[in-house]
Structure 1
Amino acid sequence: MKIDLRSDTFTTPTPGMLEAMFKAPVGDDVFGEDPSVNKLEQMTADIFGMEAGLFCVSGTMANQVAIKTHTQPGNEVICDKLSHVYIYEAGGIAFNSGCQVKPIDGNLGRITAEQVEEAINPIDIHKAKSTLVSLENTANRGGGSCYNFIDIQNIKAVCSKYNLSLHLDGARLYNALVHKNETPKQYGEIFNSISVCLSKGLGAPVGSILLGTKEYIKQARQIRKIFGGGLRQAGYLAAAGIYAIENHVDKLKEDHEHAKQITAALRKKDFIGTIIPVETNIIIFEVKGRFTPKALVEHLQKKDIHCLPISPTQVRMVTHLNIKPEMVNKIIQIIDLI
């Protein structure tokens, strides 16, 4: 029995999701005539209290379309130095938008209003124009850490003061909502744009939704087309997203509990150093002593447990929809024997 903890992108559709996909009514989305895509876009926008949505094939595409729509070449984007948009999107901000990044040294992938204000460039012909602030919630490289909502509100106040747009990379936003007992509409009231991934913990095979105003999404739709993201009979994929939102959000609590159970087992071992506080479904821990990260990963792989070395000192494990309680028990038993 293979247990894949490398990422929550390894989820596969449930039987109910597959049935919904097979039954989905479809059309041509480039013509705006795929009823399942239209339903997913409007449904997600309504959930977040925003005007419109755009179905994209990936979180990276949604983020890159969002940034391009907010900016002009030569602008500057402010974000944490561990942000996915900065370190995991193949230089897309420079390539797609012609913008530079001002990375902030935050706390576990989270930045503060004070740091944002300090990072904003003055009006000066020698300086790039600060245009956009991008946050990530939960923060992947921060071990699935979550923002406190008051901190987001304070960052929004700074953005409003300096006329900057505020984007949210919400790849695992539903994990944060469940953990913090927050509502989607709280976020819709704050952010100018939000990307919401459907293919991680929610379990859909493909897709993210970009949310914003009707005018913003109209512009974003053209950018998506320029990026080669025009879709045809995408309703089969959209149906999976609809099913995920309607059926899998509450299951994220189980993922979080599984992560805490595995973390408790890791804490007992002499070769485990610092573990980033586990709030949601991501465990990032230091490996020391008798193992290197690579050696530990290889040892676990022989037991059919797959995880990732993400730095010279750290390993990452991610729980998700396909990780069942019996798998967690096996993981704990194997860790106990190491």
Structure 2
Amino acid sequence: MDNLIDLRSDTVTRPTPEMRRAMATAEVGDDVFGDDPTVNALQEYAAELLGKEAGLFVPTGSMGNQVALGALARPGDEVVCEAGAHFLHYEGGSVAAHLGLMMRPLEGEAGVITSDQVASVVRTGTEHNPHTAVVAMENTHNAAGGRIFPIDEARAVSKVARDRGVSLHMDGARLFNAQAATGTAASEWASCVDTLTFCFSKGLGAPVGSMVVGPSDVLSESHRLRKRLGGGMRQAGVIAAAARVALETGPERLHEDHSNARRLAEALAAMNPSAVDLGAVDTNMVYADVGVFGTTGAQVSAALRREGILTLGSEGPVMRLVTHRDVSSDEIETAVSALQKVLI
């Protein structure tokens, strides 16, 4: 697939030469015993970067969300989240199956729930209803097209929850895209929540891994849950080394992905202004309505593949394109030409 331009997701990136060198020379130990120096250093670095007491390296973001939520809530408790939340729809029902938690989805605007919405649904102190244990935010929001959770609203949601004794979690799989787009430090969003997960293998470009950060006592419970879920790794420094390189070098170049996504969006809008809401392209994702061209996402994706372009298309009118470090600006122009050929 090396000759294809892959716009399906930012998870498809390959490790850079610097990452491969770091992996080959990493100091390792048994991480289940807490003896892997490379993992320990990564956890400390991530926690300091986000302004938290501790970090926990996990294989995936899905596991990160589970071990964070499971440490903040008990079975039968309620988690308030946006209706399109990734852990609600796209993580295999794991929060319900493994943790026994109930979801209270709220219809947000562009993936954002408001402090007023949260204030209206929090339930505490009655035996008749599930106890609202956690309010969760997603930043950037995948299903909303990579939209950013505004920092002022995050602070307002945080105050409402904390005033009511409710914990907060942020699924920040693509948090550093929000940082790159706004100039707001990732630690500012982290300060709004108790626990936060972010992913090394999306825009940052590492081959595997996610990080959970939060208070030491909470992450101690998360560590126990990681083991229960099968996430205890041994000589994990090999992959932690690549994650460290990704975290140190990845954020500074994410604006390039955003520019490439904007180019794709503007090209689609030039073909038909109704195909893309340009105001909704905050970061590195473009959700296009190809129904305005009289076709479906799946049909367009199939046609683009014949042109050497990989995308994700639904059986309905929606097609998704995601930019990342392995797609150059020249390749974006090739993709634009292919879109014009297929759609016009």
Structure 1 length as normaliser, TM-score?
0.97
Residues 310 and 156 (structure 1), Cα distance of their counterparts in 2 relative to 1, 3 Å cut: farther
Runs of 4+, deviation exceeding 6 Å: none
After TM superposition, give the deviation of residue 120 of structure 1 in Å. 1.3
Count of matched residue positions in the alignment of Structure 1 and Structure 2: 338
Residues 311 and 251 (structure 1), Cα distance of their counterparts in 2 relative to 1, 3 Å cut: farther
Picking from 303, 308, 311, the partner of 2:312 is: 308
Structure 1 stretch displaced more, 320-329 or 38-47 = 320-329
Asked if 1:326 corresponds to 2:322, the answer is no
After TM superposition, give the deviation of residue 300 of structure 1 in Å. 0.5
- SS state of the match for residue 20, structure 2? helix
Give the residue type in structure 1 aligned to 2:93: G
1:153 corresponds to which residue?
155
1:15 corresponds to which residue?
17
Alpha-carbon displacement from aligned partner over 1:129-167 (angstroms, at most 9, x marks no partner): 111011000000111000111100000011111111000
1:286 corresponds to which residue?
289
Equivalent residues in 2 for 1:174-323, closer than 5 Å:
174-270=176-272, 273-275=275-277, 277-288=280-291, 289-310=293-314, 312-323=316-327
2:106 corresponds to which residue?
104
Separation in 2, partners of 1:212, 1:101:
22
Separation in 1, partners of 2:283, 2:112:
15
2:141 corresponds to which residue?
139
After TM superposition, give the deviation of residue 36 of structure 1 in Å. 0.5
Separation in 2, partners of 1:311, 1:171:
26
After TM superposition, give the deviation of residue 67 of structure 1 in Å. 0.8
Separation in 2, partners of 1:196, 1:295:
33
After TM superposition, give the deviation of residue 246 of structure 1 in Å. 1.1
After TM superposition, give the deviation of residue 270 of structure 1 in Å. 4.1
Separation in 2, partners of 1:101, 1:17:
38
Give the residue type in structure 2 aligned to 1:286: D
Separation in 2, partners of 1:148, 1:316:
23
Alpha-carbon displacement from aligned partner over 1:250-287 (angstroms, at most 9, x marks no partner): 11010000000011111122496343610100101111
After TM superposition, give the deviation of residue 122 of structure 1 in Å. 5.1
Picking from 117, 120, 123, the partner of 2:119 is: 117
Work out the percentage of aligned pairs sharing the same amino acid. 36
Separation in 1, partners of 2:140, 2:216:
26
Separation in 1, partners of 2:143, 2:190:
24
1:335 corresponds to which residue?
339
Alpha-carbon displacement from aligned partner over 1:41-80 (angstroms, at most 9, x marks no partner): 0000010111100000000000011111111111000000
Structure 2 length as normaliser, TM-score?
0.95
Give the residue type in structure 2 aligned to 1:278: V
